[in-house]
Amino acid sequence: MNSCWEDCISFWLQQGLRTLGSVYFLASLVLCFSFLAYLRLFGGPLGRIPGPFGAKLSRLWMVKHSRQGDMHRTMIALHQRHGKIVRTGPNEVSVSDLGAIKKIYGAGTRFKKSDWYSVWQGHRKFDLFAERDERIHRTQRRLVSHIYSMDSLKDLEKYVDDAVHVFIKKVEGMQGQSMDMGLWVQLFAFGGLATLAGGGSSVA
């Protein structure tokens, strides 16, 4: 009888410990997630930057709008509402300020390119766009910097004039109508580059 009673007590103690352990585990998870949410909402250097509530907690907000295809309109509306800097993720911000372009992308910047550029990195040895190592990027930039000098660009201006005129004529001819600006800007860029590469007019 005593043995049976002891077995019952032992069984219920084990069940109680398991239940108690589960409760502690769930409570620990809730505390961890709550602490993480608090840090993302109010802590760190991004805590005071305005933005959508969901964007401060997760990147799912960005995935949602990307899938809906309205990210560009959403970002414009957010900047109109909150100003030049908007928080778009737990560790991301969007900047809409012409004065910040040089600070962020200029030579010697302290801002490192994010993992976003890794999609293109590694396919070409010489890649100013995707190269994330500032030292390598600086070396590569020196090799081609003269090409992008103002004097060089002025010499190339005459080669893209035809493409500019065709583009302007098309836009003027579509007054009062809707047109696919994305398509025509792409055609304009292709025509200008083709002219530069071929050394003659490629725009009809």
pLDDT digits over 29-86, tens only?
A: 666 666 666 666 677 788 888 988 888 888 888 888 889 989 899 999 999 999 999 9
For residue 73, the model assigns a pLDDT of: 92
Task: Name the residue among 48, 44, 38 with its Cα closest to residue 82.
Answer: 48
For residue 48, the model assigns a pLDDT of: 86
Contact by Cβ (8 Å): 137, 131 = yes
Contact by Cβ (8 Å): 198, 161 = no
d(CA 96, CA 81) in angstroms, rounded, equals: 12
Instruction: Give percent of the chain with pLDDT exceeding 70.
Output: 77
pLDDT at 119 over 80: no
For residue 201, the model assigns a pLDDT of: 58
* Most confident option among 83-87, 100-104, 110-114, 135-139: 83-87
pLDDT at 161 over 60: yes
Give the sign of the dihedral formed by CA 71, CA 114, CA 147, CA 108. positive
d(CA 46, CA 87) in angstroms, rounded, equals: 7
- What's the pTM value of the predicted model, to 2 decimals? 0.56
Domain locations along the chain = 1-43, 46-96, 154-198
**Which H or E run includes 87?**
strand 85-89
- The number of CA neighbours under 13 Å toward the Cβ of 54 is 7
**Burial bucket for residue 86 (CB in 10 Å: 0-12, 13-18, 19+):** buried
For residue 5, the model assigns a pLDDT of: 47
For residue 95, the model assigns a pLDDT of: 92
For residue 2, the model assigns a pLDDT of: 40
Contact by Cβ (8 Å): 86, 78 = yes
